[in-house]
Structure 1
Amino acid sequence: VSVCIRGSEKTGIWGSREQLGVRFPSSVWDVAISSQTRRFSLDFTAQLKVKRRIAMLHDYNLPFGPWGQEQTEEQAKEHTALLAAFELACASRHLADFVDKWGEGRFRARCCYAADYGYYDPVPQSLCPWEDKHAFVTFISPCPEKGLSIFARLAESMPEVQFLAVKTVAWTKPWHEQMLRKLENVKVVAAADKIGEILGVTK
Protein backbone atom coordinates (compact mmCIF):
# COMPACT_ATOMS: atom_id res chain seq x y z
CA VAL A 1 0.00 0.00 0.00
CA SER A 2 1.32 3.46 -0.90
CA VAL A 3 0.25 6.31 1.40
CA CYS A 4 0.57 10.03 0.72
CA ILE A 5 -0.34 12.41 3.56
CA ARG A 6 -0.61 16.13 2.83
CA GLY A 7 2.80 17.75 2.73
CA SER A 8 4.70 14.48 2.83
CA GLU A 9 6.27 12.11 0.35
CA LYS A 10 4.61 8.88 -0.72
CA THR A 11 5.35 6.06 1.72
CA GLY A 12 5.12 2.32 1.10
CA ILE A 13 3.66 0.17 3.86
CA TRP A 14 3.72 -3.62 3.88
CA GLY A 15 1.83 -6.22 5.88
CA SER A 16 -0.93 -8.79 5.83
CA ARG A 17 -4.45 -7.80 4.89
CA GLU A 18 -5.40 -7.63 8.58
CA GLN A 19 -2.30 -5.63 9.54
CA LEU A 20 -2.88 -3.11 6.78
CA GLY A 21 -6.54 -2.82 7.70
CA VAL A 22 -5.76 -1.65 11.25
CA ARG A 23 -2.66 0.38 10.36
CA PHE A 24 -4.57 3.67 10.33
CA PRO A 25 -7.74 3.03 12.36
CA SER A 26 -8.55 6.72 12.92
CA SER A 27 -7.47 8.04 9.53
CA VAL A 28 -9.94 9.28 6.95
CA TRP A 29 -8.44 9.62 3.48
CA ASP A 30 -9.59 11.93 0.70
CA VAL A 31 -9.16 9.35 -2.04
CA ALA A 32 -8.30 5.65 -2.14
CA ILE A 33 -7.11 4.32 -5.49
CA SER A 34 -7.01 0.61 -6.23
CA SER A 35 -4.54 -0.05 -9.03
CA GLN A 36 -6.61 -3.02 -10.19
CA THR A 37 -10.18 -4.32 -10.09
CA ARG A 38 -9.54 -7.77 -8.66
CA ARG A 39 -11.98 -8.76 -5.97
CA PHE A 40 -9.44 -9.06 -3.15
CA SER A 41 -7.90 -5.66 -3.92
CA LEU A 42 -11.31 -3.98 -3.98
CA ASP A 43 -12.34 -5.74 -0.78
CA PHE A 44 -9.31 -4.36 1.05
CA THR A 45 -9.69 -0.84 -0.34
CA ALA A 46 -13.41 -0.80 0.48
CA GLN A 47 -12.74 -1.24 4.21
CA LEU A 48 -10.65 1.95 4.43
CA LYS A 49 -12.27 5.17 5.64
CA VAL A 50 -12.25 7.36 2.55
CA LYS A 51 -14.35 10.07 0.93
CA ARG A 52 -13.91 8.73 -2.59
CA ARG A 53 -12.89 5.38 -4.07
CA ILE A 54 -11.41 4.91 -7.54
CA ALA A 55 -10.31 1.69 -9.24
CA MET A 56 -8.01 1.67 -12.27
CA LEU A 57 -9.24 -0.61 -15.04
CA HIS A 58 -6.64 -1.97 -17.47
CA ASP A 59 -8.25 -5.19 -18.72
CA TYR A 60 -11.37 -7.35 -18.70
CA ASN A 61 -10.96 -8.61 -15.12
CA LEU A 62 -14.55 -7.75 -14.23
CA PRO A 63 -17.47 -9.73 -12.78
CA PHE A 64 -19.48 -9.19 -15.98
CA GLY A 65 -18.96 -9.48 -19.70
CA PRO A 66 -17.68 -12.45 -21.72
CA TRP A 67 -14.01 -12.45 -20.66
CA GLY A 68 -13.91 -12.17 -16.86
CA GLN A 69 -11.64 -14.36 -14.76
CA GLU A 70 -13.22 -17.58 -13.53
CA GLN A 71 -15.35 -17.08 -10.40
CA THR A 72 -18.17 -18.85 -8.61
CA GLU A 73 -21.61 -17.24 -8.83
CA GLU A 74 -21.31 -16.11 -5.20
CA GLN A 75 -17.87 -14.56 -5.81
CA ALA A 76 -19.17 -12.77 -8.90
CA LYS A 77 -22.03 -11.24 -6.88
CA GLU A 78 -19.61 -10.10 -4.18
CA HIS A 79 -17.24 -8.70 -6.81
CA THR A 80 -20.10 -6.80 -8.47
CA ALA A 81 -21.24 -5.27 -5.16
CA LEU A 82 -17.69 -4.16 -4.34
CA LEU A 83 -17.14 -2.68 -7.78
CA ALA A 84 -20.30 -0.59 -7.53
CA ALA A 85 -18.71 1.39 -4.66
CA PHE A 86 -15.87 2.58 -6.92
CA GLU A 87 -15.52 5.00 -9.79
CA LEU A 88 -13.71 3.25 -12.64
CA ALA A 89 -10.80 5.03 -14.33
CA CYS A 90 -10.48 3.15 -17.62
CA ALA A 91 -7.21 3.03 -19.55
CA SER A 92 -9.00 3.42 -22.90
CA ARG A 93 -12.28 4.54 -24.42
CA HIS A 94 -12.83 0.92 -25.43
CA LEU A 95 -12.80 -0.22 -21.78
CA ALA A 96 -15.11 2.59 -20.70
CA ASP A 97 -17.55 1.59 -23.46
CA PHE A 98 -17.14 -2.07 -22.42
CA VAL A 99 -18.23 -1.22 -18.86
CA ASP A 100 -21.19 0.80 -20.13
CA LYS A 101 -22.30 -2.04 -22.41
CA TRP A 102 -21.86 -5.05 -20.13
CA GLY A 103 -22.35 -3.30 -16.78
CA GLU A 104 -25.92 -2.37 -17.72
CA GLY A 105 -25.63 1.11 -16.21
CA ARG A 106 -24.67 -0.07 -12.73
CA PHE A 107 -21.15 1.38 -12.73
CA ARG A 108 -19.51 4.79 -13.11
CA ALA A 109 -16.77 4.57 -15.72
CA ARG A 110 -14.74 7.27 -17.43
CA CYS A 111 -11.79 7.24 -19.78
CA CYS A 112 -8.58 8.23 -17.99
CA TYR A 113 -5.53 7.70 -20.17
CA ALA A 114 -3.21 8.62 -17.30
CA ALA A 115 -4.37 5.52 -15.43
CA ASP A 116 -1.92 3.24 -17.18
CA TYR A 117 1.57 1.87 -16.65
CA GLY A 118 4.50 4.22 -17.31
CA TYR A 119 2.31 6.98 -18.73
CA TYR A 120 4.47 9.76 -17.28
CA ASP A 121 7.80 7.99 -17.66
CA PRO A 122 10.42 9.45 -20.02
CA VAL A 123 10.28 8.35 -23.65
CA PRO A 124 12.18 5.03 -23.85
CA GLN A 125 15.23 4.59 -26.02
CA SER A 126 14.37 3.67 -29.59
CA LEU A 127 14.48 -0.04 -30.37
CA CYS A 128 16.06 -1.51 -33.50
CA PRO A 129 14.06 -4.70 -34.12
CA TRP A 130 16.06 -5.54 -37.25
CA GLU A 131 19.18 -6.21 -35.15
CA ASP A 132 20.17 -9.81 -34.39
CA LYS A 133 19.41 -9.57 -30.66
CA HIS A 134 15.74 -9.03 -31.52
CA ALA A 135 15.09 -12.68 -32.24
CA PHE A 136 11.53 -13.41 -31.09
CA VAL A 137 7.92 -12.85 -32.01
CA THR A 138 6.54 -12.22 -28.52
CA PHE A 139 3.24 -13.10 -26.87
CA ILE A 140 2.52 -11.67 -23.40
CA SER A 141 0.29 -13.61 -20.97
CA PRO A 142 -0.49 -16.60 -23.20
CA CYS A 143 -3.99 -17.90 -22.41
CA PRO A 144 -7.17 -18.85 -24.30
CA GLU A 145 -8.71 -15.41 -23.70
CA LYS A 146 -5.84 -13.76 -25.55
CA GLY A 147 -5.65 -16.16 -28.48
CA LEU A 148 -3.48 -19.03 -27.22
CA SER A 149 -4.78 -21.40 -29.92
CA ILE A 150 -3.95 -18.87 -32.66
CA PHE A 151 -0.44 -18.37 -31.25
CA ALA A 152 0.16 -22.13 -31.10
CA ARG A 153 -1.09 -22.58 -34.67
CA LEU A 154 1.19 -19.80 -35.93
CA ALA A 155 4.18 -21.39 -34.20
CA GLU A 156 3.37 -24.78 -35.73
CA SER A 157 2.96 -23.34 -39.23
CA MET A 158 6.18 -21.27 -39.07
CA PRO A 159 8.87 -23.56 -37.59
CA GLU A 160 11.62 -21.27 -38.89
CA VAL A 161 10.40 -18.40 -36.66
CA GLN A 162 11.33 -18.19 -32.97
CA PHE A 163 8.49 -17.28 -30.60
CA LEU A 164 8.68 -16.01 -27.03
CA ALA A 165 5.80 -16.72 -24.62
CA VAL A 166 5.95 -14.49 -21.53
CA LYS A 167 3.87 -16.21 -18.86
CA THR A 168 2.10 -14.27 -16.10
CA VAL A 169 0.57 -15.60 -12.89
CA ALA A 170 -2.91 -14.18 -13.47
CA TRP A 171 -3.45 -15.49 -17.00
CA THR A 172 -1.07 -18.33 -17.88
CA LYS A 173 -2.08 -21.61 -16.24
CA PRO A 174 0.29 -24.60 -15.84
CA TRP A 175 -1.44 -26.56 -18.61
CA HIS A 176 -1.07 -23.60 -20.99
CA GLU A 177 2.67 -23.61 -20.30
CA GLN A 178 2.89 -27.39 -20.78
CA MET A 179 1.24 -27.09 -24.18
CA LEU A 180 3.61 -24.31 -25.28
CA ARG A 181 6.73 -26.18 -24.16
CA LYS A 182 5.89 -28.96 -26.60
CA LEU A 183 6.53 -26.55 -29.48
CA GLU A 184 10.23 -26.58 -30.38
CA ASN A 185 10.33 -22.99 -31.64
CA VAL A 186 8.57 -21.50 -28.59
CA LYS A 187 10.58 -20.32 -25.58
CA VAL A 188 8.56 -19.84 -22.38
CA VAL A 189 9.84 -17.30 -19.85
CA ALA A 190 8.48 -15.64 -16.72
CA ALA A 191 7.42 -12.01 -16.83
CA ALA A 192 10.18 -9.50 -16.07
CA ASP A 193 9.88 -6.50 -13.77
CA LYS A 194 11.39 -4.36 -16.51
CA ILE A 195 9.46 -4.61 -19.76
CA GLY A 196 12.56 -3.38 -21.59
CA GLU A 197 14.15 -6.79 -21.07
CA ILE A 198 11.34 -8.36 -23.09
CA LEU A 199 11.19 -5.64 -25.74
CA GLY A 200 14.97 -5.87 -26.13
CA VAL A 201 14.68 -9.36 -27.66
CA THR A 202 11.40 -8.85 -29.52
CA LYS A 203 11.25 -8.26 -33.27
Structure 2
Amino acid sequence: MISDKDENDPFPVEDCLFAETFCQDTVYSLCGQDLKIRQVFGGNLGVAAPVWEAAIQLCRYFEEQAVELRGKRVIELGAGTGVVGILAARIGAVVTLTDLPLVLPQLQTNISANMPPSGWPNTHPVALPLSWGEDQMNFPSDWDLVLGADIVYLPETYQPLVETLAHLCKSGGLVYLSSKMRKEHGTQNFYEDYLPNRFNVERVHHDEKQNISIYRASPKLDSQHEK
Protein backbone atom coordinates (compact mmCIF):
# COMPACT_ATOMS: atom_id res chain seq x y z
CA MET A 1 0.00 0.00 0.00
CA ILE A 2 1.31 3.42 -0.96
CA SER A 3 -0.41 6.65 -0.11
CA ASP A 4 0.41 10.34 -0.21
CA LYS A 5 0.29 12.10 3.14
CA ASP A 6 -1.94 15.17 3.28
CA GLU A 7 -3.01 15.36 6.92
CA ASN A 8 -1.05 15.20 10.15
CA ASP A 9 2.14 15.48 8.17
CA PRO A 10 4.99 14.14 10.34
CA PHE A 11 7.47 16.23 8.37
CA PRO A 12 7.49 19.95 9.20
CA VAL A 13 7.52 22.09 6.06
CA GLU A 14 10.81 23.63 7.09
CA ASP A 15 12.44 20.22 6.80
CA CYS A 16 12.64 20.70 3.03
CA LEU A 17 16.36 20.86 2.76
CA PHE A 18 17.02 23.39 0.04
CA ALA A 19 15.44 26.44 -1.54
CA GLU A 20 13.36 25.88 -4.66
CA THR A 21 12.55 22.28 -3.87
CA PHE A 22 9.34 20.40 -3.43
CA CYS A 23 8.81 17.47 -1.14
CA GLN A 24 6.58 14.46 -1.59
CA ASP A 25 5.67 12.50 1.52
CA THR A 26 4.52 8.93 0.98
CA VAL A 27 3.63 6.04 3.27
CA TYR A 28 4.87 2.62 2.15
CA SER A 29 3.46 -0.50 3.83
CA LEU A 30 6.19 -3.14 3.66
CA CYS A 31 6.84 -6.22 5.78
CA GLY A 32 4.09 -5.14 8.16
CA GLN A 33 5.73 -1.74 8.69
CA ASP A 34 4.34 1.64 7.64
CA LEU A 35 7.26 3.77 6.52
CA LYS A 36 6.85 7.53 6.13
CA ILE A 37 9.30 8.52 3.42
CA ARG A 38 10.03 12.05 2.28
CA GLN A 39 11.39 12.50 -1.23
CA VAL A 40 13.11 15.86 -1.74
CA PHE A 41 13.15 16.90 -5.39
CA GLY A 42 15.65 19.61 -6.18
CA GLY A 43 18.75 20.65 -4.30
CA ASN A 44 20.91 18.63 -6.71
CA LEU A 45 19.90 15.32 -5.14
CA GLY A 46 19.19 13.89 -8.59
CA VAL A 47 18.75 10.11 -8.55
CA ALA A 48 18.97 10.07 -4.74
CA ALA A 49 15.65 11.91 -4.38
CA PRO A 50 13.02 9.33 -5.39
CA VAL A 51 12.03 5.96 -4.02
CA TRP A 52 12.86 3.63 -6.91
CA GLU A 53 10.73 0.59 -7.71
CA ALA A 54 13.82 -1.60 -7.34
CA ALA A 55 13.94 -0.64 -3.63
CA ILE A 56 10.29 -1.55 -3.11
CA GLN A 57 10.80 -4.90 -4.83
CA LEU A 58 13.83 -5.66 -2.64
CA CYS A 59 11.77 -5.00 0.48
CA ARG A 60 8.98 -7.24 -0.80
CA TYR A 61 11.49 -9.94 -1.67
CA PHE A 62 12.73 -9.94 1.92
CA GLU A 63 9.17 -10.45 3.12
CA GLU A 64 8.24 -13.11 0.56
CA GLN A 65 11.45 -15.11 1.13
CA ALA A 66 11.43 -14.57 4.90
CA VAL A 67 14.99 -13.24 4.81
CA GLU A 68 16.06 -12.88 8.45
CA LEU A 69 16.91 -9.28 9.26
CA ARG A 70 16.47 -9.20 13.04
CA GLY A 71 19.78 -8.83 14.80
CA LYS A 72 21.76 -8.69 11.56
CA ARG A 73 24.45 -6.10 10.94
CA VAL A 74 23.31 -4.37 7.76
CA ILE A 75 24.87 -1.66 5.59
CA GLU A 76 23.03 -0.07 2.67
CA LEU A 77 24.98 1.51 -0.19
CA GLY A 78 23.59 4.44 -2.17
CA ALA A 79 20.70 4.55 0.27
CA GLY A 80 19.00 7.65 -1.19
CA THR A 81 15.75 7.98 0.76
CA GLY A 82 16.78 5.08 3.00
CA VAL A 83 13.62 3.04 2.56
CA VAL A 84 15.43 -0.34 2.47
CA GLY A 85 17.74 0.28 5.41
CA ILE A 86 15.05 1.96 7.50
CA LEU A 87 12.78 -1.04 6.95
CA ALA A 88 15.57 -3.35 8.13
CA ALA A 89 16.06 -1.19 11.25
CA ARG A 90 12.34 -1.21 11.97
CA ILE A 91 12.42 -5.01 11.85
CA GLY A 92 15.36 -5.16 14.25
CA ALA A 93 18.59 -5.02 12.26
CA VAL A 94 21.62 -2.95 13.28
CA VAL A 95 21.75 -0.60 10.29
CA THR A 96 24.20 1.83 8.73
CA LEU A 97 22.92 3.79 5.73
CA THR A 98 25.47 5.32 3.37
CA ASP A 99 25.47 7.71 0.45
CA LEU A 100 27.25 10.83 -0.76
CA PRO A 101 27.42 13.70 1.76
CA LEU A 102 24.76 15.76 -0.04
CA VAL A 103 22.21 12.99 0.53
CA LEU A 104 22.72 12.59 4.28
CA PRO A 105 20.24 15.28 5.38
CA GLN A 106 17.45 13.50 3.48
CA LEU A 107 18.46 10.22 5.09
CA GLN A 108 18.51 11.78 8.55
CA THR A 109 15.05 13.26 8.03
CA ASN A 110 13.60 9.89 7.07
CA ILE A 111 15.36 8.05 9.89
CA SER A 112 13.94 10.50 12.41
CA ALA A 113 10.44 10.28 10.95
CA ASN A 114 10.37 6.49 11.21
CA MET A 115 11.47 5.86 14.78
CA PRO A 116 8.78 3.62 16.30
CA PRO A 117 6.84 5.08 19.26
CA SER A 118 8.53 2.54 21.53
CA GLY A 119 11.96 3.24 20.05
CA TRP A 120 14.07 1.27 17.61
CA PRO A 121 13.89 -2.47 18.34
CA ASN A 122 17.68 -2.77 18.22
CA THR A 123 19.91 0.29 17.76
CA HIS A 124 19.28 3.69 16.21
CA PRO A 125 20.27 3.52 12.52
CA VAL A 126 23.08 5.83 11.48
CA ALA A 127 23.77 7.63 8.19
CA LEU A 128 27.38 8.06 7.04
CA PRO A 129 29.12 9.26 3.87
CA LEU A 130 30.67 6.58 1.67
CA SER A 131 32.19 7.10 -1.78
CA TRP A 132 32.82 3.75 -3.44
CA GLY A 133 36.44 2.94 -4.07
CA GLU A 134 37.56 5.76 -1.76
CA ASP A 135 36.05 5.54 1.73
CA GLN A 136 35.33 1.86 2.22
CA MET A 137 38.40 1.32 4.39
CA ASN A 138 36.77 3.57 6.98
CA PHE A 139 34.14 0.87 7.46
CA PRO A 140 34.42 -2.59 9.02
CA SER A 141 34.35 -5.81 7.00
CA ASP A 142 32.08 -7.94 9.17
CA TRP A 143 28.61 -7.05 7.91
CA ASP A 144 26.00 -9.78 7.69
CA LEU A 145 24.18 -8.13 4.79
CA VAL A 146 25.18 -5.47 2.27
CA LEU A 147 22.19 -4.00 0.42
CA GLY A 148 21.74 -1.80 -2.61
CA ALA A 149 18.71 -0.80 -4.70
CA ASP A 150 19.13 0.67 -8.18
CA ILE A 151 22.74 1.64 -7.60
CA VAL A 152 24.12 -0.06 -10.75
CA TYR A 153 23.72 2.45 -13.57
CA LEU A 154 27.02 4.30 -14.09
CA PRO A 155 29.67 2.10 -15.75
CA GLU A 156 32.52 4.20 -14.34
CA THR A 157 31.41 3.22 -10.83
CA TYR A 158 31.23 -0.53 -11.46
CA GLN A 159 34.81 -1.39 -10.49
CA PRO A 160 34.85 0.89 -7.40
CA LEU A 161 31.55 -0.63 -6.33
CA VAL A 162 32.96 -4.17 -6.59
CA GLU A 163 36.02 -3.11 -4.58
CA THR A 164 33.76 -1.62 -1.92
CA LEU A 165 31.57 -4.71 -1.76
CA ALA A 166 34.63 -6.96 -1.51
CA HIS A 167 35.95 -4.99 1.46
CA LEU A 168 32.62 -4.92 3.27
CA CYS A 169 32.17 -8.68 2.79
CA LYS A 170 35.65 -9.87 3.74
CA SER A 171 34.17 -11.78 6.68
CA GLY A 172 31.67 -13.55 4.45
CA GLY A 173 28.69 -11.22 4.33
CA LEU A 174 25.92 -11.62 1.78
CA VAL A 175 25.08 -8.98 -0.82
CA TYR A 176 21.58 -8.29 -2.11
CA LEU A 177 21.33 -5.91 -5.07
CA SER A 178 18.09 -4.97 -6.82
CA SER A 179 18.44 -3.33 -10.22
CA LYS A 180 16.45 -2.01 -13.12
CA MET A 181 18.23 -3.79 -15.97
CA ARG A 182 18.97 -0.80 -18.20
CA LYS A 183 20.65 -1.78 -21.47
CA GLU A 184 21.83 1.77 -22.09
CA HIS A 185 23.83 1.66 -18.85
CA GLY A 186 25.18 -1.85 -19.30
CA THR A 187 23.65 -2.98 -16.02
CA GLN A 188 23.82 -6.62 -17.10
CA ASN A 189 27.56 -6.23 -17.67
CA PHE A 190 28.05 -5.43 -13.99
CA TYR A 191 26.43 -8.69 -12.94
CA GLU A 192 28.05 -10.81 -15.66
CA ASP A 193 31.52 -9.29 -16.01
CA TYR A 194 32.40 -7.23 -12.92
CA LEU A 195 30.77 -8.75 -9.84
CA PRO A 196 31.68 -12.40 -10.66
CA ASN A 197 35.38 -11.50 -10.45
CA ARG A 198 35.09 -11.36 -6.67
CA PHE A 199 31.72 -12.93 -5.87
CA ASN A 200 29.56 -15.94 -6.54
CA VAL A 201 26.49 -14.34 -8.11
CA GLU A 202 22.95 -15.69 -8.40
CA ARG A 203 19.84 -14.01 -9.76
CA VAL A 204 17.12 -14.83 -7.25
CA HIS A 205 14.21 -12.78 -8.61
CA HIS A 206 13.14 -11.18 -11.88
CA ASP A 207 10.13 -8.99 -12.57
CA GLU A 208 9.68 -9.12 -16.33
CA LYS A 209 7.10 -6.33 -16.42
CA GLN A 210 9.31 -3.85 -14.55
CA ASN A 211 12.56 -5.39 -15.88
CA ILE A 212 13.95 -5.50 -12.34
CA SER A 213 16.24 -8.26 -11.11
CA ILE A 214 17.46 -9.08 -7.62
CA TYR A 215 20.87 -10.70 -7.21
CA ARG A 216 22.41 -12.41 -4.21
CA ALA A 217 26.18 -12.55 -4.06
CA SER A 218 28.69 -14.12 -1.68
CA PRO A 219 32.44 -13.52 -1.72
CA LYS A 220 34.62 -16.12 -3.39
CA LEU A 221 36.93 -17.84 -0.92
CA ASP A 222 40.01 -16.66 -2.77
CA SER A 223 38.70 -13.09 -3.00
CA GLN A 224 38.33 -12.26 0.68
CA HIS A 225 41.28 -9.94 0.59
CA GLU A 226 42.11 -6.48 -0.68
CA LYS A 227 43.73 -6.25 -4.05
Q: Which of structures 1 and 2 has the bigger CA Rg? A: 1
TM over 0.5: no
Query: Under a length normalisation based on structure 2, what TM-score does the superposition of the two structures give?
Result: 0.29
Query: Under a length normalisation based on structure 1, what TM-score does the superposition of the two structures give?
Result: 0.32
